[in-house]
Amino acid sequence: MTVLGTQVDPERDRVEVDGRPVVLPAFVYLALHKPAGYVSSAQDERGRPSVLRLAPAIPGLHPVGRLDVATTGLLLLSNDGDFTYLLTHPRHEVAKVYRAVVRGVPGGAALARLERGVALEDGRTAPAQVRLVNRGAGEATLEVTIHEGRKRQVRRMLAAVGHPVQSLVRVAVGPVSLGDLAPGQVRALTPEEVAGLLAAAGRVGGKAGRE
């Protein structure tokens, strides 16, 4: 088939290039630079575009975790459910790093609250790592590392300490960084990155796929 966007099922379809069969991997692991305005789900009741529109048409492909519609940055995609479970279950505590531009310049007390954990309506957050990257006129840039995945967590934490988010980008998940991937672009994770993610989630040997 030569039609762009044609879906291929590795378990049922045979793919050839110049008459030679191509062995397709059972699972795929991708990094996407999510732009603002896209939802991290397959469909949206409000008609907003899904991040899957930006990725290859692969059966079973889904976001590994979520970013809210206004947040940009690194979003992993895979068709491996075990991989997704390992990376998103709270007990595995895979680090997620964000760059946040916030209103005002947080002082020591606000930073200390974030690092101890902030009381939100769904309970106190786990301690975060926070670094003041720079400060400007009426705003500051923070690097925030969390190990949870609550809905709009970083935004809610910063609002709770009096410094609402003006822009938010996720720059890393575990050992995988956003790097110079442009908004809307997608790339395959390297085997080393996949192994590193699984190791960060506590999988001995960092082996992907079902066993």
Which sequence positions are flagged as catalytic? 68
156 vs 152: CA distance, rounded Å: 6
H/E element, 74: strand 72-78
CA 35, distance to chain mean position in Å, is 12
Bridge partner list, 99: 143, 169
- Residues 154 and 163: beta-carbon distance below 8 Å: no
Q: Which two tokens stand for residue 11?
A: 């378990």
77 vs 91: CA distance, rounded Å: 20
Q: Which residue has the tokens 């531009």?
A: 101
Write the burial class of residue 105 (CB in 10 Å: 0-12 exposed, 13-18 middle, 19+ buried): middle
